[in-house]
Amino acid sequence: MNPVDLDKHPSFALLKELAQAPFNFASSRVVAADRIKKYVSSMAGFDLLYSTQRIDDDVLDALQALADECRVTEQFKTMKSGAVMNRIEGFDSENRQVLHTATRDVFSDSPAEPNAAGQAVKELQKLRLFLADLQSGAIVNKNGEAFTDMVQVGIGGSDLGPRALYHALSAFKISGRRVHFISNVDPDDAASVLKGLDLSRTLVNVVSKSGSTLETLTNEELVREAYKREGLEPQQHFVAVTGEGSPMDNPESYLRSFYMFDYIGGRYSATSMVGGVMLGFALGYQGVEDILRGAAEVDAAAEEKDIRKNIPLLMALLGVWNHNFLNCETVAVLPYSQGLIRFTAHLQQCDMESNGKSINRQGADLSYQSGPIVWGEPGTNGQHAFYQLIHQGTTVIPVEFIGFRKSQYDNDILIKETSSQEKLLANLLAQSLALATGQEHENPNKRFPGNRPNSVLMADRLTPGSMGALLALYEAKIAFQGFLWNINSFDQEGVQLGKKLANQLLDHFAARRKDNTYDGNVPDGSGWALLQASGALKR
């Protein structure tokens, strides 16, 4: 398989031509009923309503051809089978497998990569025993009391995905258990989380693959000091999720250790032990298994070649249509579910760290746009904030709405003959129609241009199973888009330069603390000059 750039495929020119006159909702200011029924795709408990995208059958056929020419589903299956996909040909790179799907493949009779699936099974068995010990009272604090809280210490993929899933599924957590998160190296983050916690009944889950992540190690030491001040032994409260053999793989410092592996990137790690330990504590082992089963169903269904039957592939192609052919630079992900309050924040990392690349997999500069800017907040709050720009601004912003037919808690009442959930759904669907059709009006201030592309992803209810499926839908969508753009979606060199320069500035801080006469006299004094100008050296 020799992937080539997006614009080298025969269908690219056809799509460019079709983009000169895309489907026009403004001509009728209505979405026809037969069109709404026609453009629906269903998979793994989700329905994608995409009649409000600026597409027709000709565009869909051309997008199908593009997917076939790029062999995206073949690349997806190759990824799942354990091929080295995290690489740049001819250049120094990570050269790793990409096997986040193996954490869910444990439920398959014939996993795509048996070794990785076997490792996932071992970690799940360790998790099951750990949770059973917590439940039975085999693991308690020094006073014989059960643990009620867990603090997850991590950053990036060790925080965003797990945090998003915890908030999404807090309706299903075990009574009397809570989870908290510390990620920012800002000491106020740790202080605000620890304030008010009964540390004697709190576990701390420290997550770092290398065991050397600066922010995580700093926060871990802050938390350890808090335990020592309370007269508590940290080793009896701390667990670790790390790479086997890392500095954190140490029974003298941690109650239990769980392993994460190099073939799972941080932003794709929520269904590994990175999220599993915390979610197991909050939801119980069955909740973790339900998440994995939901994700596994999508992983299998995403191998379908027909884009009309493959939701993540269809979403990927619609995104490419909007981004590369209709020239829309951002995409708003707007969940109409308060449980998904942190899901878009997770997608910002998962998508933008994956596909924010400017070279292809052969190391050459791209001649077209790669990943879009991803942003958003839950509805209906956003309607009273940024929707004004989406509807009437000069920038066209495609929208991916996410909704559920039923609420999580089923705690609702009728007001004016409709429930709150019905009001939520009415707002979601109304926004979708309004963005597409717009409104003519003699008063220009009340005129809505329409033709704002959007789609609606719907499921029955936000549960552990549907959350796992939703997570996998977006992970597959992101991977598919990377294959289409011929970029490496699985490294993140863009974060390294800032880390390097931050360490240089920290060296200045440390040198100044040792010697007040230190003047930063180094060949490149820009860092020192910036520290002086910012006033950060003042104490």
Going by pLDDT thresholds of 50, 70 and 90, the confidence category of residue 153 is very high
Q: Please identify, among 272, 293, 314, the residue that sits at the C-terminal boundary of a domain.
A: 293
Q: What was the pLDDT predicted at 515?
A: 87
Those residues whose C-beta lies under 8 Å from the C-beta of residue 81, and which sit 6 or more positions away, are: 112, 113
Smallest Cα–Cα separation from 456: which of 167, 67, 36, 24? 36
Q: Would you please indicate which residues are annotated as catalytic (active-site) residues?
A: 353, 384, 499
If asked whether residues 483 and 382 sit together in one domain, one would say yes
Tens of pLDDT, residues 410-441: 999 999 999 999 999 999 999 999 999 999 99
**And the tokens for 164?**
């998003």
Residues 471 and 507 in one domain: no
> What is the spatial distance between Cα 27 and Cα 179, in angstroms, rounded to a whole number?
51
Q: Which residue has the tokens 């930063």?
A: 520
DSSP 344-383: HHHHHHHHHHHH--SB-TTSPBPSS--SPEEE---TTGGG
Question: Do the beta carbons of residue 268 and residue 441 sit within 8 Å?
Answer: no
Residues 271 and 358 in one domain: no
Residue 195 lies in a domain: yes
**Residue 433 dihedral angles phi and psi, to the nearest 5°:** -65, -45
Please tell me whether residues 170 and 311 are part of one structural domain: no
> Residue 69: is its pLDDT beyond 70?
yes
pLDDT of the residue at 1: 66
138-152, 307-321, 502-516: range with lowest mean pLDDT = 502-516
156 and 226 belong to one structural domain: yes
Question: CA 340, 343, 346 angle in degrees (round to 5)?
Answer: 165
For residue 156, is it within any domain? Answer: yes
Percent residues over pLDDT 90 in the chain: 89
Q: Do 316 and 376 belong to one domain?
A: yes
Put simply, whether the predicted model's pTM sits higher than 0.85 gets the answer: yes
Residues 400, 287 within the same domain: no
- Whether 503 shows a pLDDT value over 90: the answer reads no
Query: Is residue 275 a part of any domain in this protein?
Result: yes
- Residue 539 domain flag: no
pLDDT by residue (tens digit) across 278-320? 999 999 999 999 999 999 999 999 999 999 999 999 999 999 9
What does the mean pLDDT of the chain come to? 96
* Average pLDDT, integer, range 217-236: 97
Domain boundary (239, 260, 293) is at 293
Inter-CA distances, 161 with 291, 314, 481, Å? 13, 23, 20
Do 419 and 313 share a domain, yes or no?
Answer: yes
Using DSSP, state whether 498 is helix, strand or coil.
Answer: helix
Taking the C-alpha atoms of residue 211 and residue 376, their distance in angstroms, rounded to an integer, is 32
Residue 18 sits in a domain whose CATH number is 3.40.50.10490
The CA–CA distances, whole Å, from 18 to 22, 68, 72, 395, 465 equal 6, 18, 22, 21, 39
Tell me, letter by letter, the H, E, C secondary structure of 36-93: HHHCEEEECCEEEECCCCCCCHHHHHHHHHHHHHHCHHHHHHHHHCCCEEECCCCCCC
**Do both 501 and 481 map to the same domain?**
no
Q: How would you label 166-192 residue by residue, b for 16+ Cβ within 10 Å and e otherwise?
A: bbbbebbbbeebbbbbbbebeeebbee
- Bridge-based pairing state of the strands 84-86 and 96-97: antiparallel
Q: Are residues 337 and 417 in the same domain?
A: yes
Q: What is the pLDDT, as a whole number, of residue 523?
A: 63
Provide the domain limits for residue 509: 494-534
Output DSSP code: residue 102. Answer: G
Query: Does 521 lie in the same domain as 448?
Result: no
Spatial distance between the Cα atoms of 2 and 47, rounded to a whole number of angstroms: 34
Count of structural domains, the chain: 3
Give bridge partners of residue 399 from the DSSP assignment. Answer: 332, 454
Average pLDDT over residues 352-356: 98
- pLDDT on residue 495: 84
Judgement on whether residues 261 and 167 belong to the same structural domain of the protein: yes
**213 located within any domain:** yes
Most distant CA atoms of the chain, gap in Å = 77
| Strand ranges, E, within 191-346 | 202-208, 238-243, 257-260, 330-335
480: left (phi over 0), alpha (psi -120 to 50) or beta: alpha
Q: What is the pLDDT of residue 538?
A: 80
Distance CA 489, CA 538 (A): 41
Task: Please give the single-letter amino acid code of residue 491.
Answer: D
Half-sphere exposure of 19 (CA within 13 A, CB side): 18
Question: Which positions ≥6 away from 206 have C-beta within 8 Å?
Answer: 153, 154, 216, 220, 238, 239, 240, 241, 242, 248, 254
220 in any annotated domain = yes
Sequence-distant (≥ 6) Cβ neighbours of residue 196 within 8 angstroms: none
User: What is the C-alpha to C-alpha distance for residues 72 and 67, in angstroms, rounded to an integer?
Assistant: 6
User: pLDDT band for position 325 (50/70/90)?
Assistant: very high
Distances (CA, A) of 399 to 195, 231, 339: 39, 52, 19
Measured CA to CA, the distance from residue 225 to residue 221 in angstroms comes to 6
Closest CA to 187 of 158, 213, 218, 212: 218
- 3-state secondary structure (DSSP) of residue 204: strand
Q: What is the CA radius of gyration of the chain?
A: 25
> In this structure, is residue 445 part of a structural domain?
yes
SS3 content of the chain, % helix, strand, coil (to 5): 50, 15, 35
The C-alpha atoms of residue 265 and residue 246 are separated, in whole angstroms, by 16
The pLDDT of residue 524: 67
Q: What is the pLDDT of residue 311?
A: 98
Q: Tell me which of 266, 293, 320 is where a domain ends.
A: 293
Distance CA 288, CA 276 (A): 6
Does 510 reside within a domain?
yes
